[in-house]
Amino acid sequence: MGCQISPPPRNAARQSGGSGRGRNVGIYDLNISRTPLVLIQTECLKSGFNCFSESIRQSWGEKRRGEGDMPVTRHDVLNTPHDSIHYLEYKIILQPSRFHSAHSFKEFWKIVKHTAKKFDVHIKESKTPFASTEREVLFYDTKNFDLYNNHFILRLRTFYKDGWPEGIPELTFKFRHPEFDVAAGVDVRPAVPGGAARIKFKKEFLPLRESLGGIRPIFSHNCVLGMPREQLNLAVSDLAKSFPAFSQVQSPGESAIQLVNDFAVVEVQADIGELHFGGGLNAKATISVWRDRKTENALCGEFAFQCRFESENDLHKNGMKRAEDFYKTLQMEAFDWVSLGTTKTAMVYRLGSQLTRNSE
């Protein structure tokens, strides 16, 4: 989607030895041409990333839902700590009371289409726009939320097909911050050789905290890899060995990682299609709802559209302006759907009595 111009060669070579910043990036160079999200040879974080079996690696190499046909390039894996942004994602959190059945997706999509027509945004619906996929989403942190309070997020996402888990769960380690320089300065790559991890640096847009029709950015530096759920019996010290960036977390090294607020999310998502804003700015549009696995009650909904590109210099100014105007106006058109001042992750963290210092 979007611009697909090949990036110029990057001076990303490193000297061997040390962790994090002291490795030769060539160790990440596996056969990734058919791996849309992640391939990392690891048995568990605690044991130092020993190799998965061949069958597990092949299973993880299958195409994941939600990524479409987005290609993986050497640049995705071999980026430097101060990398440039390659994704733009616009998000609107929606009120849970609106999601009472699958028909709710169609109701909100009507508003999107009406707004798109005002700005001459071309819509390309998928063959089955309201066919939904299901994923379980779990967040892990210390009991005092030491990761989240330091702007780190640890998420495990399991894909389901016909009611059964499909493939290896997807572990995402991310650093999310409102300032670009801070987010870009965090090296989210794993510390050990022997595999490849998908690195994604995204500029996300959210509405203003207290009013409709505005926009504010937040920057998300992500590392995504495969991780069986039973191997998340970890402490902060284990994470810091595998991801040097975690050394920034001010927490006792043996603080256990546990499920945030004992809350499991069921995410139901429809990949509706694409929004074409002009100038090659084409964005994948999705509508989703997060529900409590225990009660099936809705926690929130979300409308989002995302595009991928090689360089922000390749983005057409008119297309960017149209996307922003569309996003701002959609908030006003759907005023009685929108929930302000939060993110999906923040909502999960706020379910319990433990307070957080992170106000996304």
Which domains occur in the chain, in start order? 25-349 (2.40.320.10)
Helix (H) or strand (E) holding 289: strand 282-292
Where do the DSSP E strands lie in 103-215?
Answer: 122-125, 132-141, 152-161, 164-165, 170-177, 198-206
Residue 203 pLDDT > 80, yes or no?
yes
pTM of the model: 0.79
Instruction: Residue 155: count other Cβ atoms within 10 Å of its Cβ.
Output: 19
Distances (CA, A) of 336 to 94, 100, 137: 9, 15, 27
322-331 per-position pLDDT tens digit: 999 999 999 9
Over residues 124-136, mean pLDDT: 96
Instruction: Name the residue with higher pLDDT: 9 or 267.
Output: 267
Query: Where is average pLDDT lowest: 50-54, 117-121, 201-205?
Result: 50-54
Stretch (H or E) spanning 91: strand 87-94
pLDDT number for residue 246: 84
Q: Minimal CA–CA distance to 129: which of 1, 271, 267?
A: 271
Q: Give the Cα separation of 99 and 238 in Å (integer).
A: 39
Instruction: State yes or no: pLDDT of 37 exceeds 90.
Output: no
Mean pLDDT score, 7-28:
31
Per the model's pLDDT, the better-predicted residue between 349 and 14 turns out to be 349
- Tell me how far apart the terminal alpha carbons of the chain are, to the nearest angstrom: 28
Report the distance separating Cα 64 and Cα 169, nearest Å: 10
250 closest CA partner among 140, 149, 124: 149
Give the mean pLDDT of 191-206: 79
Cα dihedral angle (44, 49, 54, 59), rounded to 10 degrees? 60
Gyration radius of the chain over CA positions:
20
What backbone torsions phi and psi does residue 46 show, to the nearest 5 degrees?
Answer: -65, -35
Q: Is pLDDT of 200 > 50?
A: yes
**What is the C-alpha separation between 133 and 299, in angstroms, rounded?**
17
| Confidence (pLDDT) at 250 | 73
Most confident region among 58-62, 100-104, 204-208, 219-223 by mean pLDDT: 204-208
Range in 69-78, 155-164, 220-229, 338-347 the model is least confident about? 69-78
Place of tokens 């999960």: 348
Reference 237, options 142, 173, 144, 151; nearest CA is 142
Distances (CA, A) of 358 to 5, 178, 191, 219, 346: 36, 11, 26, 14, 8
pLDDT band at residue 44 using 50, 70 and 90 as cut-offs: very low
**122-128 mean pLDDT:** 97
Q: Does position 251 have pLDDT exceeding 90, yes or no?
A: no
Q: Is 295 helix (H, G, I), strand (E, B) or coil?
A: coil
DSSP state of 314: G
What is residue 360's predicted lDDT score, i.e. its pLDDT?
A: 87
Residue 1 reports pLDDT greater than 90: no
Which residues partner with 291 through β-bridges?
266, 298
User: Does residue 124 surpass a pLDDT of 90?
Assistant: yes
Of 252, 230, 231, 203, the C-alpha closest to 83 is 203
Question: Are residues 67 and 284 in contact, defined by beta-carbon separation less than 8 angstroms?
Answer: no
The pLDDT assigned to 218 comes to: 97
For residue 159, pLDDT over 60 is answered with yes
Residue 237 has pLDDT above 70, yes or no: yes
User: Is residue 23 scored above 60 in pLDDT?
Assistant: no
Nearest to 39 by CA among 61, 59, 65: 61
8 Å CB contact between 68 and 1: yes
At 253 the pLDDT is 62
- Find the mean pLDDT for residues 255-279: 95
Q: Mean pLDDT across the chain, nearest whole number?
A: 79
Which token pair is 357? 């210092």
Which pLDDT score is estimated for 167?
87
Whether 182 has a pLDDT exceeding 90, the answer reads yes
The percentage of residues in the chain with a pLDDT greater than 90, rounded to a whole number, is 57
Predicted confidence at residue 181, as pLDDT, reads: 92
Computed from CA positions of residues 347, 349, 353, 356, in that sequence, does the dihedral angle turn out positive or negative? negative
Nearest residue to 325 (alpha-carbon basis) of 114, 152, 116: 116
Of 240, 241, 236, nearest to 258 (Cα)?
Answer: 236
Q: Pick 138 or 238 by higher pLDDT.
A: 138
